[in-house]
Amino acid sequence: MPHKTIGTALLLAGGLVLSSTSAFAADPTMLGNTCAGCHGTNGSSVGPATPSIAGLTEDTIVEAMKAYKSGERPSTIMGRIAKGYTDEEFKAMGQFFSKQKMVIYPQSTDAAKAKKGAKLHDKYCEKCHEDGGTVDDEGTSILAGQWMPYLTFSMEDFNAGTREMPKKMKRKLEKMLDKEGQAGLDSLINFYGSQAK
């Protein structure tokens, strides 16, 4: 177990003080632990399809949960689950998962496609999905090491228009698909899936 900073400990101790006097409803660990059965212990999924959510920013988690709750973002099961929580609880979940480091588990990828995907990433995606898609910056999520079936589902939803893309992404994706077709998308997904860290 990594050592906590005094800052974190203080913050949590603050919560504990509250808990003895009033209801401290949204405990990050309590809420985060309920997700592990599908998203993996501390949010790192062992696959094959449920995405890892460890290491995402608090905002990314909160926005995703809100979008699931409202139905704005399509899902099989997450919409049903997100409806069970308040905004305050989303924030607590976000706090929990933003403090976890994503553990990447190996998946089988096509080396040639991954190589091609790396080039396509640099050309079309790197500007927003920085450092090879390893960092979640302003809601870009972490793509590197993410489970490929999940990435495929996400792109299917984006392309079908059931999930809204940011304008910039839409433009870049259209350009990429015009030039490379579905094979380009497949290469990109193999690239992200092949990244070990």
Instruction: By CB under 8 A, name the binding residues for other proteins.
Output: 1-2, 4, 6, 8-10, 12-14, 16-17, 19-20, 23-31, 33-42, 45-50, 76-77, 80-85, 89, 95-96, 99-100, 147, 149, 153, 156
Report the SS3 class of residue 147: coil
Q: Is 12 or 169 the residue whose CB approaches other proteins more closely?
A: 12
Structure tokens at 133: 């898609």
Report the SS3 class of residue 135: coil
> In angstroms, rounded to a whole number, what is the distance separating the alpha carbons of residues 12 and 54?
19
Smallest gap from residue 42 Cβ to other proteins (A): 6
Q: Is 32 or 132 the residue whose CB approaches other proteins more closely?
A: 32
Cis peptide before 106 (omega within 30 of 0): no
Smallest gap from residue 125 Cβ to other proteins (A): 24
Smallest gap from residue 129 Cβ to other proteins (A): 23
**Position 147, amino acid:** W
Smallest gap from residue 147 Cβ to other proteins (A): 8
**Helices vs. strands in the chain: H and E counts, helices first:** 10, 0
Query: Which residue is associated with the tokens 């920013």?
Result: 57
Q: Is 48 or 166 the residue whose CB approaches other proteins more closely?
A: 48
Q: Is 103 or 177 the residue whose CB approaches other proteins more closely?
A: 103
